[in-house]
Amino acid sequence: MSRPYAVLKLSKRNNEVIAFARHVVQSMTDNPDFLAPTPPLASVEADIDALGRAQSNVLTRTRGTPEARDACLVAVRHDLQGLRSYVQSLANEADSVTAAQLIASSGLAVKRRGVHPKQRASALVGPVSGSVRLTAPFAAKRAAYGWRYAEGEGPWTELAETMQASTRIDSLTPGRLYRFQVRALTRAGIGDWSEPVVLLAL
């Protein structure tokens, strides 16, 4: 039995990204299935408007306008990835049919794939005391990786994203147990956090 997943199919053309983003916001606005979108739709709409203005400014060929436009584009893409994760979190709580309908009503594309166990990051003791080396499963040729860790059952601490499928954490307390997770960020959106891996810091 396959599960439906919300995916982002973003064009390389900025005007089409703007149109798609507006479609998603319009689809989710006043939709009873989406009571508290994250990020808020008003914030997303403001970023889309800013991107639209920045895109128009590029046509004036004024110095610095392409860089400003690119920054706005990054913000909109990040907003859409956040909405995709929000929609997916709701879909995960529904049966397969309802989940597909919910995703479609958000304006996002629906993709089905077989259910596979979540992959795990690998964690190895680092070269110095209190350090750990983390490695993520391969996600895609173009992917970023988000990392987080927690001491015991404590709260998660998120780390800076990397473009490599590995990172190192320092200054952990030797003799304490830590949990580690990773998630991939690809053109399809932000993935789910991996199953936690536990390691004793040395």
Checking DSSP bridges between strand 122-125 and strand 2-7, what pairing results, if any? unpaired
At residue 106, φ and ψ (nearest 5 deg) are -85, -10
Q: Which CATH superfamily is domain 122-200 in?
A: Immunoglobulins (2.60.40.10)
Amino acid 1: pLDDT: 46
Q: Could you read off the pLDDT of 167-192 as tens digits, one per residue?
A: 999 989 998 899 999 998 888 778 88
Identify any residues that bridge with 72 across adjacent strands, giving them in sequence order.
none
Q: Could you read off the pLDDT of 70-97 as tens digits, one per residue?
A: 999 999 999 999 999 999 899 888 887 8
Q: Is 44 strand, coil or helix?
A: helix
Regarding pTM above 0.85, the answer is no
Domain ranges in the chain are 2-114, 122-200
